A and B are shown apart, each in its own frame.
Chain A
Amino acid sequence: MSPAHTRLSRRQLLVSLIAIPLFSPRSVFAQTAGTDSDIARASALLTGRSTLAPETAMRVQELLSAQDAAFPSHLASLIRALETASGTDPQTLSDSLSDTDAATALAILEAWYLGYVGSVSTSSMDYDGKFVTYLQALMFEPTGDVTPRPAYSKRGANYWSAVPEGVAAPAMADNVATWGLAGLKPTTSPPDPDPAWLYMMQGYATTITAARAALAGGAAPLTSDEVNAKSLAAAQASAGAQTTGAQTSDSETREGDSK
């Protein structure tokens, strides 16, 4: 049954997508063996999903324990807190946790959503991240009807030119999707940019509201000469000094892609 062609609510859809993998006979069997482990219960409560594979939950536990020997005791504390709290909404439950329990919860949640524990790198083999799951990585579920889990396209060639599910496309020219000269080509030259947007591009604001407020307060985008001077100065900055736009290690792990 194609999720794309059914009229399920998205929530129903999510539930069905999650459910499919686990109804194979073997894992149903395994489930009875392990659903009541602390890690399986914590995983279910934190993600709001009752169908996570218990074997994978055990793997989360073993990997997190290998990372931090205190994990089992942290888990015990977390499960006490979760089970004494009222309600089952993951957000409410999580918000009620102490800092230590919240950190444990975060580690478990990251494992399930991202599909690995530890840190990974886009530009070196020197990382300690360990694989947990790909087919169950929860971060792909909310978008499963629109985009593929990479390497698992669920559709055929050229499906992507259609308006994605759930999108109300603005009106566009008839030939908008035509590549080349028969498609859309400009008749003017690009304009000078609006100063507030330029200010944002220079890294001084992330939203247009903030940028406009700054400009109203007297700030101004750098001139081309200032941009160049700043760039040349940054090139020279002594090693180790914090330079403009230096990446945090976090963003580094997420953007590394080049062609």
Chain B
Amino acid sequence: MSDYDADVIIIGSGTIGSHVALQCAQAGKSVIILEAGTKLPRWKAVQNFHEDAAKRNWNAPYPRLPWAPHSYMEGYIEATGDADFDYVTSYLRVAGGTTRHWAAACWRLLPNDFKLKSTYGVGRDWPISYDDLEPWYVKAERSVGVSGTAQDDQSGQNRGAYPPRSQDYPMPPEAMPYSVQRMTSKLTDMGYSIAHEPCGRASRPYDGRPACIGNNNCEPACPIGAMYSGDMTLEKAVAAGADLRTESVAFKLETGEGGAITAVHFRKPDGSDHQLTARRFVVASHGLESPKLLLMSDVANSSDQVGRNLMDHTGLTFSFLADEPLWTGRGSVQHGCIVNRRDEPSRAQHSAIRYSFRNLVPNLDIAPDLIEQGLRGEALDDAIRDRAGRYMQISTMSETLAIPTNRVQPNPDWTDSIGLPGLKVTYRLDRYVRAMLPQAQRDFANFAQAFGAEVLTAPNQWRNQFHIMGTCIMGDDPADSVVDKDCRTHDHDNLFVVTTGVMPTSATVNPTLTGIALAIRAGDTLVKEL
């Protein structure tokens, strides 16, 4: 014991790392959490939101740290890719991590998402099945506090209550907003299957959190903490005895005899270097920063897959004015979605798709145009009201495949204030993704017709959904994957990587609940071993 600074060192205090930290600390293990960013109380993020000009910039309310840049800091991410698509991604460097400004959609994958290759002949299979992960999903849903209904068909394939669950959600779903009632009313008739979006928002008081009251500000900061965010688990981990060290940027994992990791080196904002030793190391630094750390350290990469297979849910957004008032913006930022295309045979040819209804207060989307058009006074106010009432936005979550050439690497040509590299991303949309375009256009045409739409933005511009997968890919074969089914690196017995980046398939749903379930599962392994 005294030979080590801790039983386990966790690098990254986001929701995924904090879950492992909490488990280990509760089991009485000594835990150190290294966090690049600073602490920031929730109310301070809310105040920053209030007082910044860029209300739709989800990173803006969070610290801008020259020694731990986040994804929107100038020059930090250099992306190359297709001519018709700018790779933009978003994540934070702050205690608690990126879920400080997420939207809290908390989905489980479908059983077929774990065996894409064997079912549809594309992509990869996971080394574990849905059934293997199911009990861990249950734990993750309890910890996060997810509202949802077990009595729904999330596959859209007439499978009854699906996917199968051993336990109901910890909270019932919130009420359905009027706009979603209208969507459901009209689109169900056309043949579309609308499902509740399970979410980490309290629908009633839960775990000291109040019920969501529809502040419509989940992104970038839920002002009342109704929405789960990683700092909540982090606080519990610290209360259970984990030692949180903020402003500590890990930049190197040191390998010793027999390939074991012996120490982590980290740098403070003043440029000073420090190191710590432990029995086990857990990299939990987000889907892009985790592979960067592994690559900088030259560890875990005998397969040459670290940083490769980068996936997002790169998709399309359609915004329009309906021929009737729908009033999006009442409730949280999203409630329901269309699931028909999540698991159809066409997955053999092109991306599966999920259509998600956005529910932001749309005034900022429509007012600038109206002002520019020259409307003034009462005419302007009336037009704002009319258009805000009829505004609707639907976007796709499109499945992408693990392609080794889509990758993230450290970028030595750009360095931050303490001399650490930026990120270089190469990301192209392959035929599999692009071939969903005709399908999406057909569906969007039906939605448009149902609501007599006037187009504001046609769905022909690709954009990311900020879900990072594949970059530390999981598999049975050490030759083509980075971690095994327990999130342990093939190359180093005492090094684990927990991030959505381990996911070998992207499916059509937000990945974080899956990442948390995998992390709790890995935490269980760790606790048993230590």
Contacts and interface: CB of A to CB of B under 8 A. Distances in A.
A38 interface: no
B418 interface: no
B266 interface: no
Interface stretch (B130-138, B288-296, B452-460): B452-460
Contacts of A94: 374, 376-377
A159 B214 contact: yes
Interface string B286-320: 00000000000000000000000000000001110
Interface in A95-146: 95, 106, 109-110, 113-118, 120-127, 129-132, 134, 139-143, 146
Contact of A169 (B178, B334, B431): B178
B207 interface: no
Interface of A: 10-11, 14, 46-48, 89-91, 93-95, 106, 109-110, 113-118, 120-127, 129-132, 134, 139-143, 146-153, 155-164, 166-167, 169-170, 172-173, 176-194, 197-198, 200-203, 205-208, 224, 227-228, 231-232, 234-239, 241, 243-247, 250-251, 253-259
Given A160-B177, A194-B445, A258-B466, A189 B191 contact: yes
Contact of A197 (B327, B429, B449): B449
A206 B434 contact: no
A120 B56 contact: yes
Contacts, number: 370
* Residues of B in contact with A, size category: 35 or more
A247 B461 contact: yes
Contacts of A207: 454-455
A122 B371 contact: no
B442 A259 contact: no
Given A48-B378, A143-B384, A146-B330, A203 B185 contact: no
Contacts of A127: 53-54, 57
B406 interface: no
B109 interface: no
Contact of A91 (B219, B331, B378, B437): B378
B351 interface: no
B161 interface: yes
B246 interface: no
Given A186-B193, A202-B460, A46 B376 contact: yes
B30 interface: no
A229 B58 CA distance: 35
B176 to A, nearest CB: 5
Contacts of B188: 184-186
A169 to B, nearest CB: 7
B446 A197 contact: yes
A104 B57 CA distance: 27
Nearest to A194: B449
Contacts of B319: 255
B325 A164 contact: yes
B514 to A, nearest CB: 15
A234 B196 CA distance: 35
Given A109-B371, A172-B181, A227-B437, A161 B327 contact: no
A163 B83 CA distance: 44
B184 A232 contact: no
Contacts of A125: 57, 59-60, 64, 72-74
A116 B54 CA distance: 8
Nearest to B341: A190
